Chains A and B, each alone.
Chain A
Amino acid sequence: MNRARLFLPVTVFGILAVVLLLGFTLRDPKLLPSALLGKPFPAFDLPVLTGAPGERASRSSLLGEIRLVNVWATWCPTCLAEHGELVRIRRETGLSIVGINYKDDSSQARAWLREYGDPYDFNVVDANGDLGVDLGVYGAPETFLVDAGGVIRYKHVGDVNRSVWDGEFAPRIAALGDSNKGEGGKAE
């Protein structure tokens, strides 16, 4: 009976290993779960971080343009690391970037944007992380590529740096632009 107790650690470890294996193989963390790829961006209705009092944004605010939707928070060091790249993308390519300020303190978030620059067209405040759950946000930062029809085309987990931009986003955005011209907005 005492002997059985000594096998408790290996049992717990076994469960842990299975969880890790599932977590690891069910999904490559850098890839979008197929459930969301090609699906419309989830509906939301949330306050705007730097807007007039009472101003809100919804899914329709995303339509009409190819956008990056970037999930970030001031408590996330990686977000700071990627922030400069977002500022650069905005400045050099003019691409629209929308922020989801995720489980964060809004006054700190506004201070952050004042301090480090604001590459976002607008930010929505996802204080409880509800939109994050709908989006399957795994941890900040995450960045979604959303086409003009509001359909999610790509997702990147982790920071957007120069090589991620050059290798993952820029080609897809170029392709989206081409197909929109060629096929008349298939995304709709």
Chain B
Amino acid sequence: MIVELGHFATILALGMAAGLAIVGYSSATNVNWYRLAGVLAFAQFAAVGLGFGALVYAFVTSDFSVLYVTENSNTALPWYYQVSAVWGGHEGSFLLWTLMLAAWTWAVSLAGARVPREIQGRVLGTLGLLNAGFLLFLLSVSSPFERLIGGPAEGADLNPLLQDFGQIVHPPMLYLGYVGFAVAFAFAVAALLSRRLDAVWARWTRPWANVAWAFLTVGIALGSWWAYYELGWGGWWFWDPVENASFMPWLAGTALIHSLAVTEKRGAFKSWTVFLAIAAFSLSLLGAFIVRSGVLTSVHAFAVDPERGLYLLAFLVVAVGGALVLYGLRAPAIRARAQYWGLSRELMLLCNNMLLVLALAVILIYTLYPVAYEALTAGEKSSIGPPYYNRAFVPLALLLAAVLAAMPVSRWRRTPVVLFRNIGLMLLVALALGVLLPLVLGGAIAVGAMLAVGLGLWIAMTHAADVRKRRRSLTRSYLGMVTAHLGFAVSLIGIGVTSEFSHVVDARMDVGDSVTLNGIEYRLNRVERVSGPNYTADRVEFTTGTGVTLYPEKRHYPARDQVMTEAGIAPGFLGDLYITLGERLPDGSWGVRINDKPLVRWVWLGALLMGFGAILAITDPRYRRLAKRAHRTATSAPMSGGAQPATP
């Protein structure tokens, strides 16, 4: 009964989304309709929330008469995995997607007091239109509310890979980011429709783009961390099509938040900015198509259904194609006369954007190459592995780092050359350290790591010097930017060092055996049988010469008759020790893989700093002052409130 109510609420939500689209677009001319748009935005969120709540209820009560519950849950599953199992499959995760879009829409309606009614109405209308499309898709070809006649007594269980903390936090964060770019997209469409594309428009859009980007950044980092400890072989990025699907909107979004800065401060790059706003969300949609259509295979792929793929492709063509046609018709065609010279900050941000978009283009082409190759050769196939990606991406990332390091001394319009002299000296110091540190601590020459460390240190130095210089006039938006840039440096150093200085050894070990890797002795102490809520496991205890204990496990999940390896990890700021178990050999010994991974945590720590910086930047009172000045009221919601309704 509850499930039917949820289903019904979701149908109502579709009606409200469609209503919001009509009311939103019409409200430019009618103030009453405008008020109604706000009501509908809330009602839509409440209705999808009820639908989602009903599905959660079905999961925690193990209602196996619901097909989706049967496929993804089990009575032995702990309650928190039963809840996260709601988004463990295609249907439920799409419901989460629509819930988040509804939440964003509501947030936009709350924070909209400072935006002219004409724009705000069209923003809400566009968001309503998008969610109507998603809800129609959900209800027509991928409903999570389907009943089974005579449901089974026990469910098939959640895929053991997904029975993890990562599954609880990674998808919601990621979706908040993906869907959050819908707001920037809607602002772009509204600006084009209203022919109002200016610095003020950029100021409205900027906080939303920042929040979405922060969520996406953290979401991707969580996914990477999860893959690292759960897949059990110490890798943290695989250039898997689905990882690329999340990375492409991230690159477009990164370009967008920087381009928005130029548009807000200097009124330049307008067409480019609005294009990026459309592109970031379009790439999120493309990602959804890739993951859910089966057009590319991947570890993340959902059950494939041609109907779903066709619907999503049609939706993609209408939404993205429509927005891009509008862009072609309405974007300002006249180039703003060049108002910057030489090494100005504009030019540096232009370089930043070019590098990011180039990286994006490479990843897009590589990701779709197998599809295109097959389509063009009528069935011939090809595939591209990680080395191709690294070869193209690493140089671009290092160039980007170099531009970023020089940024703090740059000035709008024109940078006095003398300012570059100071950072030149810093570059020499940083590169010297970059060469020496890996050489002394890692004991090997590794060009990639040396460049990464050197450039990372250079970024830290130039930013630190700039903070010191401005210490009397530090704003939150400036500190946010510095934090995010330091985060980039931290990630860069982490990626460089862990890629080049990780060690691994494979060994066959029995109780009492020891193996030495990179100067640390690992001893297999004992093996014990343990049982979890829905699995049994062999747990092996290792101790190291440095006094650390690790417990890798080999788990057996009876519901799916699946065996999973759980890595034993000793995390550390300076590096992880990481042990995975292989098969137990006939003589009772174990195949063991031991890794040490220096600075691997920095990869994700940097991403967290980036996300935090983006959020810090938009808490700047500047945005609130603006709101007050525009309306002379104290009731305008602070922009940071935009993310609250969707945060658990």
Contact = CB atoms under 8 A, between A and B. Distances in A.
Main secondary structure, interface of B, reads mixed
7 contacts: A9-B278, A9-B324, A13-B282, A24-B313, A35-B379, A77-B231, A103-B383
Interface centre among A14, A74, A138 (most CB of B within 10 A): A138
Contact of A139 (B334, B370, B376, B378): B370
Interface in A59-107: 73-75, 77-78, 80-81, 84-85, 87-88, 103
Interface of A: 2-3, 5-7, 9-10, 13-14, 16-17, 19-30, 33, 35, 73-75, 77-78, 80-81, 84-85, 87-88, 103, 111, 114-117, 129, 132-133, 136-140, 157-159, 161-162
Given A77-B240, A136-B380, A84 B374 contact: no
B379 A136 contact: yes
B327 A75 contact: no
A20 B289 contact: yes
B383 A137 contact: yes
Interface stretch (B102-110, B343-351, B464-472, B556-564): B556-564
Nearest to A111: B506
Contacts of B533: none
A6 B328 contact: yes
Interface of B: 161, 227, 231-233, 235, 238, 240-241, 271, 275, 278-279, 282, 289, 293-299, 301, 304, 306, 309-310, 313, 316-317, 320-321, 324-325, 327-329, 331, 333-335, 368, 370-372, 374-376, 378-383, 385-386, 506, 508, 560-565, 580, 582-583, 591-593
A6 B582 contact: no
Contacts of B592: 115
Nearest to B282: A13
Closest 5 CB pairs of A and B: A115-B582, A22-B375, A23-B371, A10-B324, A7-B328
A174 B161 CA distance: 30
Given A17-B321, A116-B583, A158 B370 contact: no
A14 B381 contact: no
Nearest to A84: B563
A133 B371 contact: no
Contacts of A111: 506, 593
Residue among A22, A114, A117, A140 having the largest count of chain B Cβ atoms under 10 Å: A114
Contact of B375 (A26, A30, A117, A159): A26
A51 B593 CA distance: 23
Given A16-B368, A84-B562, A10 B321 contact: yes
A162 B372 contact: no
Nearest to A33: B379
Contacts of B232: 80
B583 to A, nearest CB: 4
SS class, residues of chain A in contact with chain B:
helix
Contacts of A103: 383, 385
Contacts of A20: 289, 295, 313, 316, 368, 371
B591 A115 contact: yes
A6 B327 contact: yes
Contacts of B562: 84-85, 161-162
Given A115-B591, A133-B382, A77 B313 contact: no
Contact of B328 (A9, A74, A85, A129): A9
Given A111-B506, A138-B374, A24 B381 contact: no
A9 B368 CA distance: 17
Contact of B381 (A5, A9, A133, A158): A133
Contact of A75 (B304, B368, B385): B385
B582 A116 contact: yes
- Residue among A14, A84, A85, A157 with max Cβ neighbours from chain B (10 Å): A84
A162 to B, nearest CB: 6
Contacts of A6: 271, 327-329, 331, 333
Nearest to B309: A24
Contacts of A115: 506, 580, 582-583, 591-593
Given A33-B379, A116-B583, A138 B563 contact: no
A3 B379 CA distance: 38
Contacts of B580: 115
B526 to A, nearest CB: 20
Contacts of B381: 132-133, 136-138
Contacts of A81: 161, 299
Given A10-B325, A24-B313, A117-B583, A78 B299 contact: yes
Contacts of B298: 78, 139
A24 B296 CA distance: 9
A162 B156 CA distance: 11
Contacts of B271: 6
